[in-house]
Amino acid sequence: MSPAPSSGPRVAVVVATVGRPRLLDRLLLSLAGQTLPPADVVVVDRDPGPGTRVVVAERAALLPVRRLALPAGTRPGLSAARNAGLAALDLAATSASASAGAALAARDGADEPSGTSGTGGTAVIERDGPGIVVFADDDIWYQPDAFARAARAIGAGPDVVAGRLLASGRRPATAPIEDEPGPLDARTVWTHAPTGTCFFRAAFLAEVGGFDESLGIGCAAPWQSGAGPDLLLRGLRAGRELASDPDVRAYGHNPEDRGASDRGHRAKARHAARGAGRVHRRHCGAYACARAVVRPLAAVAVHTACGRWPMALRSLHVAVGRAEGMSGLLLPAPRPVPPQHL
């Protein structure tokens, strides 16, 4: 195993993966190539197959990486897997379900659809001294100086620094981002802070908590997204400073993203929009909630006028899904396509 760097802040990485060993291997190689390598990498394995175990064993010679096998027969959602990885880090002291995120979920629970809990567990960490935590997605990889740049940016004061996510062809994978660093607010956390590019101070997570397990892909509730923005919005409520730095770069490629004309992609957009609507309900006022529904409805009109029927249908699913998340009333929706194993 390669030794941890002796200088610079300690960076720990949590990766939640599900049966995508080739993508995971690409990520781990990018971590090993960092000018500020991580001091600890925990891979939370959400799949019973051997692929993840083999990749982690092969890359342990390059990285301080270990695999966290979840109990047999369980396949928790992404947020629960991230919290499990957070609790397994050397800087983690405790795991708790009572925090700001759980309280917000409990408040929502009065009108949860039947069969869902409404109360999500969160992980809390405690640590003396500096530390940075990254929750890396298994389908992204990092520019070699990304961790060093993020550490310098955090050293300037912010509690969280969000980088830029680019597609493999160097096109922005998210909405266009300004070329200059700047603060994040309740609006821009949605567009400028993909979770895999966010670098968190350990102290931020100790105060704000981990991810709400009633939100995000694979959770038991219908809200299949929004855990990342929810965490950041809780931080803003607590008075923490969030910033974006486009020079901290990650690249993404998801082979399951087959385009808006695919029925499975539209289904995925619908279920993700439900989570976004739920988070808007928790943290945003009436104007912001209305805007979140009206904007995709306006896109429906534009796409329809231009004859872009698949895009119009996708935008309609987004508008309906957000309204479902805000109201708690679910309409029939297409089933999301299960992820492919790569």
Alpha helix (H) ranges present in the chain? Answer: 21-32, 51-59, 78-88, 100-108, 146-155, 202-208, 227-237, 263-283, 286-305, 309-327
Q: Of 126, 318, 159, whose CA–CA distance to 234 is shortest?
A: 159
Does residue 203 come out as left (phi exceeding 0), alpha (psi in the -120 to 50 range) or beta? Answer: alpha
In the numeric block, which tokens belong to residue 279? 């988070």
**Spatial separation of the C-alpha atoms in residues 120 and 97, rounded to whole Å:** 7
How crowded is residue 240: how many other Cβ atoms within 10 Å of its Cβ? 18
- Model pTM? 0.87
Task: Share the mean pLDDT of the chain.
Answer: 84
**Spatial separation of the C-alpha atoms in residues 115 and 126, rounded to whole Å:** 33
How far apart, in Å, are the Cα atoms of 55 and each of 23, 45, 50, 101? 10, 11, 9, 33
Residue 1 · residue 60 · CB < 8 Å: yes
How crowded is residue 215: how many other Cβ atoms within 10 Å of its Cβ? 31
Going from the first residue of the chain to its last (342 residues), give the mean pLDDT of each consecutive group of 10, the final group possibly shorter.
60 94 96 97 88 96 94 80 90 41 50 40 47 96 97 96 84 58 95 97 94 95 97 98 97 65 81 98 96 98 96 96 98 74 42
pLDDT score, position 203: 92
Report pLDDT digits (tens) over 70-91: 876 667 899 999 999 999 986 5
How crowded is residue 309: how many other Cβ atoms within 10 Å of its Cβ? 11
